[in-house]
Structures are given as structure tokens and as C-alpha cells.
């Protein structure tokens, strides 16, 4: 009964969600600057009597809303919401539509709060594309009380749950000794040489690193003039693999040794500075994925099972604090890359509308099934506790 009522409410509130996607898309705000986006989402939630407030957990662009409150229930559910955009390409990761999905799912649950046997919260989690603000929330215990956390992302495929890569990001700041590049280069030591040699070292690491390891980055600064031996050089590099433990205990120490060796070889100095928070891999709970798959099947969403990890999200850190799920819904069947202008164009197209409905259907269909069948929720919790 709950699931059918939720689907009717999704249909009833869909125009509000479509309008929210359009607003967020046309007012993109990059990570950490989502002030207007946060305010707009809170306004929509409050409009439907979901008590929501900004600046949650001391984060200016985060929010918290109580969707359903049941004092006689010990079940707690969190719906996470992302709404940050990317530099230059705006909502090319689809977070405007993803936010609309979370809000639509919440509105439907609010409509039916009398028969929802759980406490349900919606949490605004900004800055996913950069430093990942779910991470300090997770570290601070925000998600510890929840029996389940869920959100939906956009993709070109329906995926019941993502397998994610852990990563750590560092800035490499080399300092050399400047000198005239033609008159007296022997008096200089090139900071750029130290950085370039480090990049080659990373290339050499790849062939001996464990499967699913990815090392990527770019040069932020290389010098100021061609006739000056570079005094300062800076690069930013991310080290990913399918295990946070491997990244922390093996991959990053290996890279650190390589960088220090390159500084020694070029007689330069280097400072290795952490950037942002370490992102975890995601606990993959098959018992919950089975439920999401059943929802996708029943609502005609042909899905793709992700066997190998790809991409990363701070939702992975949440998955170490409570059972967490990060499915995706297809917005197009075209072979488009996330973070591209072409993908952004689809996010604001008519194709976004059925995608938003499907996303809310996945969230609320999943929640209805685990709430109406306590054995499903129990199985999810037991699997989480075993991992």
C-alpha cells in the first residue's frame, strides 16, 4: 500500500521537481559556493511543511530537513542531496537533477507520513565535486544513527549501485633555484624538472600498481618565463584504487617516496600537501542491491550491473558509517561522458523529466520495500555489520 501511494505522490509533485532542476541548472554554483542552491532547496522543502534549515553541521551550504518524524519508530532513514556544479561546464554531472530527485522522493514521503514507519531526514551534502563535505559529516557521526542512507545519481545507464574507488589528492609544491636559463643555467635548479620527473615516476608506478589503480593530475604552475630556471612548480595529483586501505597504506607512501626521490635527483625541495578529505571506497551490500534491482525491474528500468569500480564519491565514506546506496538512473542512452558539455545539455532537456521520476521511484520504491518487509532491512543491517 505504501509504495502505491508514494508513486501517486511522485506523480503529483513532479512539476515542482522539474522546476527545481531547471532553477538549479540555470543558476549553477561550484563546490563550496552553493548558497543560492541550498536556499532554494530549503524554500521548496519548507513550502511543503518539511522543516528544513541551512548551515547544518556548521557548513554554510549544507541543510537538514525532517521529512517524517515517528517517535515510536527506531528506524532512521537519510536521503542525501547533492547540488554543486562544475567550473565552466555547470551541471554536467547532473547534480541539479539529482537534487530534484531527492526532493521529489522526500515530498512523496511527506505526503504519506501517516503510513511511513520510520524517521526520514533529507540532508544537503554540498561540495561533492571538490573536497567532499559528506566526509566531515560522516567523521563527525552524523550518519551513525541511520539504518540506511540513499541518493540517486545520473548516468547513461540504470545502475542498481555503484562500485566506487577510494582516493586521496595531494598538491606537490617544488622549490628550486632561479637563474638565467642561457647565461648561467648551472647556477639554477629547476623546480619544474622535479615535478616533471615525478609525473614520469607516476607513469612508471602504474604498471606495478594493483588492478583498478588510477593516478591522474595536472601541472598548476611551471614557471614564469622561458629564460628563467623555474624556481616554483606545483602540481595536483589524485591517487585512486578500489580499497581505501591500499591507497592509504601502500599507494600514497609509494608516491611520496617517488616524489621525494625526484626532488633529491633534481636537487630541489618539495612539500607534499593533502588536498581535501580522503574519499573511501563504497561498501557494496548485495542484500540492498537486490531490492533496488527489483524496483528497477518492476518499473521497467533495464539495468546494468557494475562489476568493476569506477569514479568516486564521498558517499563511500557514508557507507562505512551506515548501510548506504548510490544507484544511478539513465537520462539518455547516448554514449555521453559525465562532466562534458554534451551531458550538461541533456540534463536541461526534456529527457530529464522521466529521469527525475525514475530516480524518485527508485528511492521511494526501495524505502517502501525495506520498511514494509522488516526482514529485508534486517538482512541489509546484518550484511553491513559483517563487513
Residue 19 is placed in which grid cell? 522546476
Q: What is the mean pLDDT of residues 276-280?
A: 96
Query: Burial letters for 180-195: b for 16+ Cβ neighbours within 10 Å, e otherwise?
Result: ebeeeeeebbbbbbbb
272 vs 87, 169, 235, 256, 278, CA distance in Å?
A: 25, 10, 10, 8, 15
What's the DSSP call for residue 115? Answer: G
CA distances from 333 to 162, 297, 337, 349, 371 (A): 18, 17, 11, 14, 32
Please answer whether residues 108 and 369 qualify as being in contact, where contact means their C-beta atoms are separated by less than 8 angstroms: no
pLDDT of residue 307: 87
Q: What's the pLDDT at 265?
A: 99
The DSSP line for 289-331 is: HHHHHHHHHHTT--B----S--S--THHHHTTTS-EE--EEES
Q: Report the topology of domain 2-164+280-386.
A: Aminopeptidase (3.40.630)
Average pLDDT over residues 211-234: 98
Average pLDDT, the chain: 98
Confidence of residue 237 (pLDDT cuts 50, 70, 90): very high
Is 203 within 8 Å of 237 (Cβ atoms)? no
105, pLDDT greater than 90: yes
pLDDT of residue 227: 97
- In CATH, 166-279 is 3.30.70.360: yes
Cell triple for 345 = 545539455
Single out the residue of 222, 218, 235, 226 nearest to residue 176, CA to CA.
222
pLDDT band at 156 (very low <50, low <70, confident <90, very high): very high
pLDDT of 306-361, one tens digit each?
A: 888 988 999 999 999 999 999 999 999 999 999 999 999 999 999 999 999 999 99
Using CA atoms, how far residue 85 sits from 220, 246, 350, in Å, is 21, 30, 20
- Of all residues in the chain, the percent with pLDDT exceeding 90 is 98
Task: Name which residue leads in pLDDT, 29 or 387.
Answer: 29
State mean pLDDT over 121-132: 97
Domain ranges for the chain, please list them.
2-164+280-386, 166-279
C-alpha cell at 246: 591500499
Task: Report which secondary-structure segment, H or E, holds 41.
Answer: helix 35-47
Judge whether residue 64 has pLDDT over 90.
yes
> Range with the lowest mean pLDDT among 40-49, 51-60, 69-78, 305-314?
305-314
Mean pLDDT of all residues in 191-201: 99
Calculate mean pLDDT across residues 38-63: 98
Which pLDDT band holds residue 20 (cuts at 50, 70, 90)?
very high
Per-residue pLDDT averaged across 27-33, rounded? 98
pLDDT reading at 185 higher than 90: yes
Amino acid at each position: 500500500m505504501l509504495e502505491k501511494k508514494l508513486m501517486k505522490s511522485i506523480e503529483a509533485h513532479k512539476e515542482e521537481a522539474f522546476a527545481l532542476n531547471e532553477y538549479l541548472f540555470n543558476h549553477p554554483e561550484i563546490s563550496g559556493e552553493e548558497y543560492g542552491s541550498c536556499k532554494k532547496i530549503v524554500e521548496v522543502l519548507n513550502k511543503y511543511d518539511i522543516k528544513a534549515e541551512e548551515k547544518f553541521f556548521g557548513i554554510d551550504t549544507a541543510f537538514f530537513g525532517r521529512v517524517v518524524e515517528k517517535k515510536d519508530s527506531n528506524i532512521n532513514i537519510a536521503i542525501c542531496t547533492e547540488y554543486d556544479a562544475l567550473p565552466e561546464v555547470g551541471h554536467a554531472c547532473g547534480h541539479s537533477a539529482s537534487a530534484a530527485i531527492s526532493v521529489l522522493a522526500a515530498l512523496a514521503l511527506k505526503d504519506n507520513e501517516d503510513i511511513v514507519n520510520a524517521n526520514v531526514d533529507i540532508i544537503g551534502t554540498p561540495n561533492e565535486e571538490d573536497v567532499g563535505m559528506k566526509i566531515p559529516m560522516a567523521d563527525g557521526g552524523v550518519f551513525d544513527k541511520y539504518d540506511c542512507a540513499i541518493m540517486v545519481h545520473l548516468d547513461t545507464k540504470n545502475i542498481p549501485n555503484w562500485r566506487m574507488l577510494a582516493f586521496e589528492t595531494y598538491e606537490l609544491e617544488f622549490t628550486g633555484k632561479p637563474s638565467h636559463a642561457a647565461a648561467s643555467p648551472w647556477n639554477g635548479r629547476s623546480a619544474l624538472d622535479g615535478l616533471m620527473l615525478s609525473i614520469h615516476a607516476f607513469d612508471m608506478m602504474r604498471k606495478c600498481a594493483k588492478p583498478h589503480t588510477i593516478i591522474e593530475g595536472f601541472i598548476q604552475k611551471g614557471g614564469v618565463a622561458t629564460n628563467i630556471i623555474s624556481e616554483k612548480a606545483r602540481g595536483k595529483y589524485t591517487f585512486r584504487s578500489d580499497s581505501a586501505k591500499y591507497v592509504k597504506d601502500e599507494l600514497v607512501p609509494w608516491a611520496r617516496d617517488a616524489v621525494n626521490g625526484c626532488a633529491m635527483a633534481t636537487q630541489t625541495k618539495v612539500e607534499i600537501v593533502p588536498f581535501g578529505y580522503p574519499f573511501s571506497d563504497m561498501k557494496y551490500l548485495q542484500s540492498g542491491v537486490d531490492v533496488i534491482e527489483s524496483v528497477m525491474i518492476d518499473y521497467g528500468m533495464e539495468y546494468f550491473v557494475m562489476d568493476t569500480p569506477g569514479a568516486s564519491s564521498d558517499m563511500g565514506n557514508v557507507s562505512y558509517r551506515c548501510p548506504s546506496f548510490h544507484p544511478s538512473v539513465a537520462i539518455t542512452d547516448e554514449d555521453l561522458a559525465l562532466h562534458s558539455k554534451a551531458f550538461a545539455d541533456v540534463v536541461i532537456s526534456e529527457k530529464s523529466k522521466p529521469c527525475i521520476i525514475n530516480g524518485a521511484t527508485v528511492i521511494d520504491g526501495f524505502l517502501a520495500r525495506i520498511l514494509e518487509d522488516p526482514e529485508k532491512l534486517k538482512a541489509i543491517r546484518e550484511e553491513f555489520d559483517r563487513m
